[in-house]
């Protein structure tokens, strides 16, 4: 029986991935900053653990509590739509702490057991914003572009150890709380829209709304891509997830 550890399972991609792997008979360790067992169906194969990927002690405790796992899915992330000039460096660092540094820290914590067994899979969830430059996503895209290169280099580093590393690239997912939170942060601490950019920002958000009316990524698309990454040794290192993501990857 195989076990998967997934971060960021309270909603969106992580929640749907946990559901899919449970449906297909896997043991699932679903982690969340604030654990909520009610969001997932009761199952003997489910464990819900607290995990804050920006807290090294939380990472160590979660990995110890999880025990042996076969697949690690680094899905936890924060979105940010912002004008760079109006973004505090504290906010920039917070984005990188969750999207990149926490991912690396958790990966380091799990790798020893994979290496000792000579098997295991690491799946990192990034974004197709890294495939095409977009305004007001500079900080977020920078954090995810770093994840891409980290993943691709790590795949080469770990292949001789018998460990697979894959990258899932979701497209635009306006229906998830992740996408909603990205815009909400425009009104949060550490983020402002300087007056000189006000009309520009309105135009960008209008464009985002138009894009959301076309082909977009559903949480199930991402869960299926993660399933393939975890179970298919022949899967490519990069897997776009969602109709818009597939189209953008093909165009690139």
**Cα–Cα distances in Å, from 42 out to 22, 25, 39?**
10, 13, 9
DSSP per-residue codes, the chain: --EEEES--SSHHHHHHHHHHHHTT-EEEEEESS--GGGS---TTEEEEE--TT-HHHHHHHHHHH-S-SEEEE---------GGGB-HHHHHHHHIIIIIHHHHHHHHHHHHHHHHT--EEEEE--GGGSS--TT-HHHHHHHHHHHHHHHHHHHHHGGGT-EEEEEEE---TTSHHHHHHHHGGGSTTB---GGGHHHHHHHHHHHHHHHTSS---HHHHHHHHHHHHH-TTS-SEEEESHHHHHHHHH-
**Is 144 annotated as catalytic?**
yes
Bridge partners (DSSP) of residue 124 are 74, 167
Look up 132 and say whether it is catalytic: no
φ, ψ (nearest 5 deg) of residue 119: -160, 165
Q: Find the catalytic residue in 58, 127, 143, 144.
A: 144
**Taking a C-beta distance cutoff of 8 angstroms, is the pair 40, 73 a contact?**
no
Q: Tell me whether residue 197 is one of the annotated catalytic residues.
A: no
Q: Mark whether 11 is an active-site residue.
A: no
Identified catalytic residue from 58, 82, 127, 140? 140
> Out of 10, 82, 127, 143, which one is annotated catalytic?
10
Catalytic residue among 58, 126, 127, 143: 126
List active site positions. 10, 126, 140, 144
């Amino acid at each position: 029986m195989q076990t998967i550890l997934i971060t960021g399972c309270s909603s969106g991609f992580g929640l749907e991935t946990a559901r899919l792997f449970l449906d297909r008979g896997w043991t699932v360790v679903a982690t969340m900053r604030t654990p909520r067992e009610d969001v997932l169906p009761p199952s003997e194969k489910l464990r819900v653990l607290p995990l804050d990927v920006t807290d090294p002690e939380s990472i160590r405790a979660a990995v110890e509590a999880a025990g042996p796992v076969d697949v690690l899915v680094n899905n936890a992330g924060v979105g940010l739509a912002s004008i760079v000039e109006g973004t505090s460096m504290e906010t920039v660092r917070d984005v990188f702490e969750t999207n990149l540094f926490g991912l690396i820290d958790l990966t380091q914590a799990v790798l020893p057991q994979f290496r000792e067994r000579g098997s295991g899979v690491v799946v990192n969830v990034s974004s197709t914003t890294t495939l095409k430059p977009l305004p007001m996503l500079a900080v977020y895209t920078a954090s995810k572009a770093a994840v891409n290169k980290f993943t691709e280099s790590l795949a080469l580093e770990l292949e001789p150890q018998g460990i697979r590393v894959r990258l899932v690239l979701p497209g635009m997912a306006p229906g998830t709380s992740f996408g909603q939170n990205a815009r909400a942060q425009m009104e949060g601490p550490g983020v402002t829209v300087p007056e000189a950019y006000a009309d520009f920002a309105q135009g960008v958000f209008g464009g985002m709304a138009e894009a959301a009316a076309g082909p977009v990524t559903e949480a199930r698309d991402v869960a299926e891509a993660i399933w393939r990454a975890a179970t298919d040794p022949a899967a490519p290192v990069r897997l776009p997830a969602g109709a818009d993501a597939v189209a953008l990857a093909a165009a690139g």
